[in-house]
């Protein structure tokens, strides 16, 4: 049997494309919240993650059992200090050193800790004292890493909500709330000087809740829609995620920090909620997360940051049944606590293998007429 050369080339291209997809998903992460009383053992979660294309996990704290369970998996781990730790970290360098000695040194490098987030959404806490101490806390954590010869290996940052932007529409006019003034500038100078990312939580879901029109839903879910024109750049945006991320890029650029990397620390869509909540459903959650993952895998990027995918941590790995608030707050999980999927968005490695098999099978069928027998 002889196969034409270009058939072989096409088969190889198909296989190589699959390898490329499998090996290029370091930009897909997930949040592992623990406000729950029914979570599976960390060892089970580690095995679950290894069965997926998820390459990074963000913890809101520094649970040693989870960090240890992820050892030797290669999965990147983001750990965090509590907001309540910020005053101590800011005032006492030894507290920062002790925090690193307790939460990093016993586990690294077997556990691939890549980032420490100092606090979460501190800038909208309305606690001026906490806001003022955020940067000194970050600096002391960075210094403690430097003293442990880990300064260039583990980054330090903090996580912001979209609320730190005064304006986000159109994306080219994105700007930070001026009331943060020198505080935000200091944080960005820290990010720039240390090569650490600006971590932000864009949620098209919340944008839809405040504008619950069908066309807004399609724009938020990456579904066919008329798009939204940025009058300044004449760029037509086709989805809310790109628009929000580019608004953050514009805000960074307006302050002279366009080279600071953006990381999406949280984004997701609830699959159920209370009767009076607009937007939560299995259909919408699957559409948002599935289409977002496909968008990231395409490597198209955003209009202002083309050709690359922003590191994006999906929210969330599991539901957190003890979270307060409306029902949607307890319904963001992609996996059930019995380790099965709530809905399938193509994260499992087995689904990628099936896709590869289908691709190769299709090639054989298409080129079957070009196979000759000798």
DSSP secondary structure, 282-313, as one string: HHHHHHHHHHHHHHHHHT-EETTEETS---EE
Residue 349 has pLDDT above 60, yes or no: yes
- Collapsing DSSP to helix, strand or coil, 216 comes out as helix
Strand stretches in the chain, DSSP E: 2-3, 28-32, 56-59, 76-81, 113-120, 155-161, 165-167, 175-176, 198-201, 228-230, 235-237, 262-267, 301-302, 305-306, 312-314, 371-372
Cα separation values, 288 from 209, 301, 347, Å? 14, 16, 14
Mean pLDDT within 117-130: 96
Residue 17 has pLDDT above 70, yes or no: no
Closest among 32, 141, 131, 163 to 89, alpha carbons compared: 141
pTM value > 0.85? yes
pLDDT at 371: 41
Contacts of 113 (CB under 8 A, 6+ apart): 67, 76, 77, 78, 79, 104, 107, 154
CB of 88 closer than 8 Å to CB of 108: no
Which tokens hold the place of 93? 């360098």
Contacts of 234 (CB under 8 A, 6+ apart): none
Cβ neighbours around 48 below 10 Å, total: 18
Question: How many Å apart are CA 162 and CA 249, to the nearest integer?
Answer: 12
Q: Which residues are catalytic?
A: 121, 266
Mean pLDDT within 236-254: 98
Which of 15-24, 120-129, 257-266 is predicted least confidently?
A: 15-24
Which of 117-121, 213-217, 370-374 is predicted least confidently?
A: 370-374
Mean pLDDT within 138-158: 97
Q: Which residue would you say has higher pLDDT here, 212 or 14?
A: 212
pLDDT at 351: 64
- pLDDT digit string, tens, across residues 50-100: 999 999 999 999 999 999 999 999 999 999 999 999 999 999 999 999 999
CB of 91 closer than 8 Å to CB of 132: no
pLDDT band of 23, cuts 50, 70, 90? very low
pLDDT at 181: 87
pLDDT band of 352, cuts 50, 70, 90? low
Closest among 176, 167, 175, 173 to 231, alpha carbons compared: 173
Q: β-strand 198-201 against 262-267: which pairing, if any?
A: parallel
Closest among 204, 118, 199, 135 to 164, alpha carbons compared: 199
pLDDT at 20: 46
């Amino acid at each position: 049997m002889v196969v034409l050369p270009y058939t072989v080339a096409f088969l190889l291209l198909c296989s190589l494309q699959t390898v490329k997809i499998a090996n290029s998903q370091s930009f897909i992460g997930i949040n592992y919240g623990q406000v729950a009383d029914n979570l599976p053992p960390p060892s089970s979660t580690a095995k679950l993650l290894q069965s997926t294309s998820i390459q990074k996990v963000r913890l809101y704290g520094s649970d040693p059992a989870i960090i240890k369970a992820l050892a030797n998996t290669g999965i990147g781990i983001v750990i965090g200090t509590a907001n309540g730790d910020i005053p101590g970290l800011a005032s006492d360098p030894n507290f920062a050193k002790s925090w690193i000695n307790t939460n990093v040194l016993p586990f690294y490098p077997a556990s691939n800790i890549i980032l420490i987030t100092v606090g979460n959404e501190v800038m909208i806490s309305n606690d001026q004292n906490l806001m003022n101490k955020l940067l000194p806390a970050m600096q002391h954590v960075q210094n403690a890493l430097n003293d442990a010869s880990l300064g260039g290996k583990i980054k330090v940052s903090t996580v912001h909500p979209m609320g730190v932007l005064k304006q986000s529409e159109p994306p080219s006019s994105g700007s930070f709330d001026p009331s943060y003034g020198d505080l935000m500038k200091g944080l960005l100078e820290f990010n720039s000087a240390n090569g650490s990312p600006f971590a932000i939580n864009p949620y098209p879901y919340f944008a839809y809740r405040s504008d619950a029109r069908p066309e807004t839903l399609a724009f938020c879910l990456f579904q066919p829609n008329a798009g939204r024109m940025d009058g300044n750049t004449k760029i037509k945006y086709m989805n809310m995620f790109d628009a929000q991320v580019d608004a953050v890029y514009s805000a960074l650029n307006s302050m002279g920090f366009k080279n600071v990397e953006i990381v999406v620390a949280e984004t997701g869509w609830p699959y159920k909620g209370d009767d009076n909540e607009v937007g939560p459903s299995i259909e919408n959650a699957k559409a948002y997360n599935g289409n977002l993952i496909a968008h990231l895998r395409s490597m198209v990027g955003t209009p202002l940051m083309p050709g690359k995918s922003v590191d994006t941590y999906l929210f969330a790995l599991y539901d957190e049944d003890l979270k307060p608030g409306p029902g949607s707050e307890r319904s963001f999980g992609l996996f059930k606590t019995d380790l099965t999927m709530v809905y399938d968005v193509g994260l499992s490695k087995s689904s990628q293998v099936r896709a590869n098999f289908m691709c190769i099978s299709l090639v054989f069928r298409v080129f079957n007429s070009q196979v000759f027998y000798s």
